[in-house]
Amino acid sequence: MYHSLTKSALKWHIWMHYLRIMDEILRQIGAFQDEIEAFDTTDADALENFRIRFLGTKGIVKALMGEMKSVPGDRKREFGQVMNAFKQFAESKFGALTEKLIVSGGGAHGIDTTLPGDPLPAGSRHPITLMRNRIVTIFQRMGFAVAEGPEIEDDWHNFTALNLDEDHPARDMQDTFYLSKSPDWLLRTHTSNVQIREMQKGKLPIRIICPGRVYRNETISARSHCFFHQVEGLYIDEDVSFADLKQTLYFFVKEMFGDDVRIRFRPSYFPFTEPSAEMDISCQLCKGKGCAVCKRTGWLEILGCGMVHPKVLENCNIDPTRYNGFAFGMGIERPAMLKYGIRDIRLFSENDVRFLRQFTAAT
Ligand code: DAH
């Protein structure tokens, strides 16, 4: 009907409307204040309804804001400021009330942020990893660097270069999985292949520790598995002696098992070392008195070692008249079983979380 009004009457009409809106805003602010003061702070549903009524997308504040288009141009700024102040005031009041409600733990939909959250199941390290890390860390402190090699290996690196010729009887000691496609390829039976690969690089001296998984075609039982883990050690330099080997292993054993552990070396045979030895430690369970685990001997065999055979050095193009060194190899499962009191090697690979969950880095 504006077309029937005169210009000044139109202006008057706009102004009246504006005043009525301002009046309404004041009324709503007053109503809001009264209501919020009287509000029952334990009722979360009521608070949410109250909030929606004022601040929701179809709420009072939004509706009043919508009047902006009918506000006279020179009043728009003022109108905006009043409405913003109202909105902020309402928001802060609702915020404070919600907080109060949460702290008092009230309301069907109240969220109590002070409650502990649902625990996320945190993974833990596998006991083999823990033991490997312990072994590796001790050798790293003596200046050994970590080296790794392939699990699928050729015959030469796994056997021939290590002085195990094709018809060497010791090949039978390690029942081998061959790849069906080629008899030259196999799953490595020990980590000694890494020795060869590192020596072939021709960078001397060498001081490495090589953890890894190895495979043997053995019947699976509580005591043996078709795959397990080893750590290989190798030190090549000028004038390395058996005393260096003994001292290195002695330090390792003390760090690993404690000061009261005793060691002994027994002469042994490995084609890749000369002389060769096996090292025993005094049984940690019976302290050397004799028990079922050490088969009443008081000793536990933990590794094989020796001075690297000159032929092995030659196979890797290292001059045996100038360089020599020692090597050793040990299993990881055995010390892990001793340390954690695990009686069945199969537990390591069954991935039963009830088993795995028991190990933490601290243990
Ligand atoms: N490779 C041997 C095995 O798997 C362990 C071993 C013995 C490694 C003597 C060596 C060593 O480096 O010198 O049984």
Tokens representing residue 74 in the block = 């020179």
Q: Out of 51, 70, 103, pick the residue that ends a domain.
A: 103
Q: Is the pLDDT of residue 48 over 80?
A: yes
259 CB-side CA count, 13 A:
0
pLDDT value of position 5: 59
Residue range 240-286, pLDDT digits in tens: 999 999 999 999 999 999 999 999 999 999 999 999 999 999 988 88
Confidence of residue 212 (pLDDT cuts 50, 70, 90): very high
Residue 210 lies inside a defined structural domain of this protein:
yes
One-letter amino acid of 211: P
Q: Are residues 151 and 37 in the same domain?
A: no
Percent of the chain with pLDDT over 90: 67
Residue 78 lies inside a defined structural domain of this protein:
yes
Q: Is the pLDDT of residue 66 over 70?
A: yes
pLDDT value of position 352: 93
Residue range 332-348, pLDDT digits in tens: 999 999 888 898 999 99
Overall average pLDDT of the 118-123 stretch:
81
Q: Which atom of ligand 1 is nearest to the CA of 329?
A: 8
Overall average pLDDT of the 77-91 stretch:
92
Q: Are residues 173 and 231 in the same domain?
A: yes
Q: Are residues 93 and 238 in the same domain?
A: no
Q: Is the CB of 191 under 6 A from ligand 1?
A: no
- For 320, the domain range is 127-359
**What total number of domains does the chain contain?**
2
Alpha helices in 104-163 (DSSP H): 127-141, 155-158
Q: Is the CB of 304 under 6 A from ligand 1?
A: yes
| Sequence-distant (≥ 6) Cβ neighbours of residue 159 within 8 angstroms | 165, 166, 168, 171
Q: Could you give the strand order of the β-sheet that contains 324-331, starting from the edge strand earlier in sequence?
A: 145-146, 206-215, 227-237, 324-331, 299-308, 273-282, 263-270
Overall average pLDDT of the 78-97 stretch:
91
Q: Are residues 200 and 341 in the same domain?
A: yes
Confidence of residue 210 (pLDDT cuts 50, 70, 90): very high
Q: Are residues 98 and 154 in the same domain?
A: no
Q: Is the CB of 327 under 6 A from ligand 1?
A: yes
pTM of the model: 0.69
Q: Is the CB of 198 under 6 A from ligand 1?
A: no
Q: Provide the b/e sequence for 188-204 (b: ≥16 CB within 10 Å).
A: bbbbbbbbbbbbeeeee
pLDDT value of position 15: 86
The β-bridge partners of 208 are 145, 234
Whether the CB-CB separation of 87 and 55 falls below 8 Å is answered with yes
Higher pLDDT, 41 or 155: 155
Overall average pLDDT of the 81-88 stretch:
92
DSSP classification of residue 352: -
> What Rg, from alpha-carbon coordinates, does the chain have?
40
| Sequence-distant (≥ 6) Cβ neighbours of residue 275 within 8 angstroms | 242, 267, 306, 307
